[in-house]
Structure 1
Amino acid sequence: MKIVILSVTNQGKLISDKLYDSLINNPLILHVEQYHKNVKETIKNIFNEFDCIIGIMASGIMIRSIAPHVNSKLSDPAVLLIDDNANFTISLLSGHFGGANDLTLKIASIIDSTPVITTSTDVNNKIGIDSIAKRFYCSLENPKNIKFINKALVDNVLVDLYLPSKFSFILSKDIENSYDVHIDDTLDVIISSIDGHDVILKPNTLVMGIGARRDIASEKVNHAILEACNLLDIPVDRIDFFATADVKANEQGILDNMKLFNKELEIVSMDTIKNYQNEECSKSDFVMKQFGVKGVCEPVCLISNGENSHLIFKKTAYNGVTIAVSVND
C-alpha cells in the first residue's frame, strides 16, 4: 500500500511526522510521502497515484479538494481525515473496498484518537460483501449489485453466501451472523446473492516469496510464514503458492513447511532474478555480494505471480528468513 499524508498547520505537520515514523517501517506499507500545504494542487497531482490519502485538516478543505476527482468506490483511494488536535480519525471515502474503515482503526490507534466510521453495515455490526472482497484479496464482478447485498444486511435479512470448500477458512462468527453460508465444492469463486442480485468475488492469486540462510531450521521458516500471515490478517490457506530462488530449492527448512501447509513451491532461476527489473523491489547488499542479485523474496513472488502482480507485503526479515507477498489483480 502507498500512503500520502497531507497537512496544513504546524500542529498538523507534527501529527504527520508521527504517522510517517510509524508507517514507514510497517511491512504492509510500501511507500509513504508527506506534503505540507498546497492541498488542492497536491491532491490533483496524486489522487490516482496512492492507495490512501490521509488529510490532517478541516473537513471542508479536504472535501472540496477531493470532490473533482472522486469517481468510483472500486477505484478511488481510501481517504482519511484527522483534525489538528488528533481527536478524531474519520473514514471519509472508500470505506470498504478501498480499505478506509480498517485503516481508520489502525491510524487512530497510532495517534490515540477516536475512530469515526459511518458506513451502514459497519455501524450495524455487519460485514459488507465489498469488505469481504477487500479483506481476502478478491476482485468484484457485478459491483452494481453490492448495494442490494449490503442493504439486505443492514435490514437484518440473511444473505446467501456460496463458498468453495477451499475458502471455508473465511468463516467467522461475524460472517455467519450476516450470511446464510453454503459450501459448494463445484465453485472456484465466492458468490453472494439476494433476490436474484449476485455479486461474484474472484480470489486474486497470492504468492509468498521466501529467502533464507543456509540450513535454516524448519521452525524459523514456520515462524516467519505465520508472522507474515498474521500481519496480513489472513490464514496460510489463503496463500496460493510459495516461491524461492533455485539456490534455495533444496533447503529442507523451506521444504518441510511446504509439506506441512500442503503448498507448492515454485523455483525461480537466479538468471531470471538478475534480469528482473521492478521498482518495488528493494536491494540487499548482503544478497548482492553473495549471489549477485538485489534480493530473493520480493522478485521471486512477483515473477511467479505474473506481470500484473504487485507487492502487498514488502521484504521483512525474521531471524534468518525473509518474506514478501504479492497479489495479482
Structure 2
Amino acid sequence: MTGFDSLPEQVGRNFTRYSGHVFIAAAGIAVRAIAPHLRSKGVDPAVVAMDPQGANVISLLSGHLGGANELARQCAAITGGRAIITTATDCAGVPSLDMLAQERGLHIGDPDAIKDVNAALLEGRTVQVFDPLGCLGPLDPEAFVLLDTPDLWREGEPGVRVHWTVSPKRPGLVRLYAPVLCVGMGCRRGTPVSEIREFVERVLTENGLAVESVAAAGTADIKKDEAGLLLAAQELGLPLTFFDADTLKTVDAPNPSAMVESHVGTPGVSEAAALLLCERGELLVAKQKTSRVTVAVAGRTKCSQP
C-alpha cells in the first residue's frame, strides 16, 4: 500500500470512491478528516473508527443506510473487540425503518423523513403503513398498522408508503419505492443513448411511475450489439435481458406489429419483453412510440424479496 503525507487530503481523494472506511485512530481524528465531505445520510459511506488494539470499534457515520453498524461488528469480530453502536433504534431494540427497507431492497425516497418514523417507533407509537404488495414483509403489529387503502391515511402522522407510483412529499411520510416495474425497449439501428433514455424516463413520468421502482429492462436478442440500448440500460442502472423471437412469441402482447414481425420474427418486442420480465404480470403502459424508440412498462403482482 502506498503511504501518504496528509490524512485530510487522502480522505478527500477517496471518500466517495468506497462504500466504507475504517480509521485506526481516535474518533476525533476521523471526524475532522471526514467533516468537509459529508453530504447526507442517503449517500455518505460507512465510517468506522477503532483504537490501535481493536478493543473498541465505533460505528461513526451511516450506521444504517451506509452499513457502518455491520462493518463495525465485522471489524470487532476480527479484532476480538467490542462493536460500539449508538443508533437509537439499535440501542432501544426497536425496528429501524431504514434497515428494514434496505434489507427488502426498497429505494428510500425520503431519507430525511426516516427520523420522524424512527422517533415514533422509539416513543412506542404505531406507524401507519400502506404496502399493498407486502414488500416490507411481516411487521410487528405493536409497531406498525397496515392500511388497506390510502384513503385511511391519517394526515400529519408519521407513516410509510411502499409503492411504484409517484406521490406528493408530505411531512413525516417516508416514500419507499418497490422494485416491481419492468421496461421493454426497442429502437431503430443507431438510435443514440440520450434519445432512448429520455423517452424511457418520459414514459414513466407521464404515467406517474417512479423510475426508482424499475427493476429490469428487456429487448430482443437481435439487439445485443445495439450500443444505444446497452448504454441506456447501464445509465439507468438496469440489468438488460435479451429474449429470442420464439420466447417473445409466447406472450400474447395486445399491440402486435406486422412490421416488427417482418424484422424481428415476432409480432411484438417491448410489451412482450416487459411482461416476460415481470413474470407475465400486468401491462401498466402499453407500447409507446417515437419515430425511433419503443417502450412499454409492466408491473409484477408481488414484491420480490431478496
TM-score norm. by structure 1 comes to 0.49
Counterpart Cα distance in 2 of 1:190 and 1:104: 36
Are residues 1:126 and 2:94 paired? yes
The answer to whether the 8 Å contact 1:98/1:134 transfers is no
Alignment of 1:251-270 (within 5 A): 269=221
The answer to whether the 8 Å contact 1:160/1:180 transfers is yes
Letter of the 1:178 partner, please give it.
A
Q: Per the alignment, do residues 141 and 271 of structure 1 end up closer, same or farther by CA in structure 2, a change over 3 Å counting? A: closer
Match of 2:143 in 1: 178
Match of 1:272 in 2: 224
Match of 1:309 in 2: 237
Give the structure with the larger strand fraction: 1
Counterpart Cα distance in 1 of 2:49 and 2:97: 24
Are residues 1:72 and 2:33 paired? no
Are residues 1:138 and 2:66 paired? no
Letter of the 2:176 partner, please give it.
L
Alignment of 1:128-207 (within 5 A): 128-167=96-135, 170-171=137-138, 175-182=140-147, 188-189=163-164, 197-204=172-179
Name the SS of the counterpart of 2:107 in structure 1.
strand
Q: Per the alignment, do residues 153 and 306 of structure 1 end up closer, same or farther by CA in structure 2, a change over 3 Å counting? A: same
Match of 1:47 in 2: 15
Shift in Å at residue 133 of structure 1?
2.7
Shift in Å at residue 79 of structure 1?
0.7
Structure 1 segments unaligned to the other structure (5+ residues): 1-32, 208-238, 244-265, 277-301, 312-329
Are residues 1:59 and 2:11 paired? no
Counterpart Cα distance in 1 of 2:3 and 2:48: 15
Match of 2:253 in 1: none
Q: Per the alignment, do residues 162 and 104 of structure 1 end up closer, same or farther by CA in structure 2, a change over 3 Å counting? A: farther
The answer to whether the 8 Å contact 1:58/1:83 transfers is yes
Counterpart Cα distance in 1 of 2:48 and 2:74: 11
Letter of the 2:175 partner, please give it.
I
Shift in Å at residue 190 of structure 1?
10
Shift in Å at residue 274 of structure 1?
10
Name the SS of the counterpart of 2:235 in structure 1.
coil
Match of 2:72 in 1: 104
Q: Per the alignment, do residues 105 and 38 of structure 1 end up closer, same or farther by CA in structure 2, a change over 3 Å counting? A: same
The answer to whether the 8 Å contact 1:163/1:184 transfers is no
Report percent identity of matched pairs.
Answer: 27
Counterpart Cα distance in 2 of 1:268 and 1:105: 45
Shift in Å at residue 268 of structure 1?
7.3
More divergent stretch after superposition (156-165 vs 129-138) = 129-138
Counterpart Cα distance in 1 of 2:91 and 2:82: 15
- Which structure 1 residue ranges, 4+ long, deviate > 6 Å from structure 2? 33-37, 273-276
Counterpart Cα distance in 2 of 1:114 and 1:45: 30
Name the SS of the counterpart of 1:167 in structure 2.
coil
Structure 2 segments unaligned to the other structure (5+ residues): 152-161, 183-213, 240-306
Name the SS of the counterpart of 1:307 in structure 2.
helix
The answer to whether the 8 Å contact 2:76/2:83 transfers is yes
Shift in Å at residue 180 of structure 1?
2.2
Name the SS of the counterpart of 1:123 in structure 2.
helix
The answer to whether the 8 Å contact 1:189/1:200 transfers is no
Name the SS of the counterpart of 2:40 in structure 1.
coil
The answer to whether the 8 Å contact 2:215/2:238 transfers is no
Shift in Å at residue 128 of structure 1?
2.4
Match of 2:59 in 1: 91
TM-score norm. by structure 2 comes to 0.52
Match of 1:279 in 2: none
Name the SS of the counterpart of 2:72 in structure 1.
helix
Name the SS of the counterpart of 1:106 in structure 2.
helix
Name the SS of the counterpart of 1:180 in structure 2.
strand
The answer to whether the 8 Å contact 1:97/1:131 transfers is yes
Shift in Å at residue 118 of structure 1?
0.3
Name the SS of the counterpart of 1:201 in structure 2.
strand
Counterpart Cα distance in 1 of 2:113 and 2:50: 32
Shift in Å at residue 179 of structure 1?
2.0
Counterpart Cα distance in 1 of 2:106 and 2:83: 26
Letter of the 2:138 partner, please give it.
L
Counterpart Cα distance in 1 of 2:5 and 2:35: 18
Alignment of 1:225-240 (within 5 A): none
